Amino acid sequence: MSEAVNKKKVIFSGIQPTGTFTLGNYIGAVRNWGPLQEEYDCIYSIVDMHALTVKRDPVKFRQQTIESYALLLACGIDPNKSIAFIQSHNPSHAQLNWILACSTQFGELSRMTQFKDKSKKHPDDVNAGLFTYPVLMAADILAYNADLVPIGADQKQHLELARNIAVRFNQRFGDMFTVPEPYIPKVGAKVMSLQEPTKKMSKSDENQNAVILILDDKDTIIRKFKRAVTDSEAVVKYADGKDGINNLITIYSAVTGKSVAEIESEFDGKGYGDFKLAVGETVADHLAPVRDNFARLLADRNYLKECYTEGAQRAFKLSNRVISKAHRKVGFVDYR
């Protein structure tokens, strides 16, 4: 990645280190990040500061952050092609967060559906960080003047807010930030729970049968798919009201690259049992290299540390220029 003459478009995305990535994280976001490295200047972050909005055990949190970083590399992020770092290692995010918070309205943050959902889920800890979370997310993106942000559908509202903040800041202080575009996959932008297929698949689901973790072993993956909630029709067809089957077709399509029509004809005359088994086996085989890479990477803590340390230094070099410019724009006194 050339940091001096930066002609390629810039990509930024992040994922919270709140446990093993789910199949939703993977299909909706992370697996698309690797291929983008060939065409863009990519910056990927394990966003530990975002994860702090929910109470965590510090020892477990530290371990999960390192594991998530290893998992990011295991999913094909090459630290020589991209900048891969841990968010809290680059102070620019917190700095820009404050400046952008002063260009964000209380009303717009109150409308964020994720805030509403999470405050319902953790009524005993509706902290200010949870409320201002989308401002930090805007800072992550705008600190690198990212052009594109590859995300799943559930992050679209936050991205919209980041765009509004960028536009507002530019109008008030003069051109400063690139207004980022979402990059949402056509297939698999919202992978649903295997147990309640009208809800998105989520790491925090209490029912572990609802969630495929990308480090689950083959038997576990197959077992979870076998138990997936479907309907009583027993026809593998994508149709309104068949949320469970639609989700399995989407997953199978995302992993195999086959179209819905191809999948319907492949399973024509076959029952749900055969279909679920095929989805389970295909997903497990697809994820096998990720599991192997992860085990290898996690065994080499020194290498991981070298990668995230260098990643943070490179990230800071880029974002610090943006911060200096933002400071000048808002009228802070220059001291260097």
Q: Where are the alpha helices (DSSP H) in 5-77?
A: 23-25, 31-36, 48-51, 58-74
Asked if residues 276 and 226 have their Cβ atoms less than 8 Å apart, the reply is yes
Q: What is the spatial distance between Cα 141 and Cα 135, in angstroms, rounded to a whole number?
A: 10
* Min CB(210)–ligand TYM separation in Å: 11
What tokens does 332 get? 């802070």
**Closer residue to ligand TYM (CB): 151 or 312:** 151
Catalytic site includes residue 325 = no
Question: Closest distance between ligand TYM and the C-beta of residue 299, in Å?
Answer: 25
Q: Which is nearer to ligand TYM, 158 or 314 (CB)?
A: 158
Q: Which is nearer to ligand TYM, 71 or 263 (CB)?
A: 71
CB 333 → ligand TYM: shortest distance, Å? 30
Residue number closest to ligand TYM, CB atom: 28
DSSP 112: -
Extract long-range pairs of 101-104: CB within 8 Å, 24+ residues apart: 101/132, 101/135, 103/165, 103/168, 103/169, 103/172, 104/132, 104/134, 104/135, 104/138, 104/161, 104/165
CA angle 138, 139, 143 (to 5 degrees): 120
- 137 vs 307, beta carbon nearer ligand TYM: 137
Write down the least CB distance from residue 320 to ligand TYM, Å. 18
258 is catalytic: no
Nearer to ligand TYM, 89 or 270 (CB): 89
Q: Any catalytic annotation for residue 329? A: no
Helices (H) then strands (E): counts for the chain: 14, 5
Shortest distance, position 172 Cβ to ligand TYM, whole Å: 23
* List 9, 156, 190, 203, catalytic entry: 203
Contact residues for ligand TYM (CB under 6 A)?
Answer: 12-16, 24-25, 28-29, 47, 50, 137, 140-141, 149, 151-152, 154-155, 158, 189-191, 200-201
Question: Which residues are known catalytic residues?
Answer: 118, 200, 203
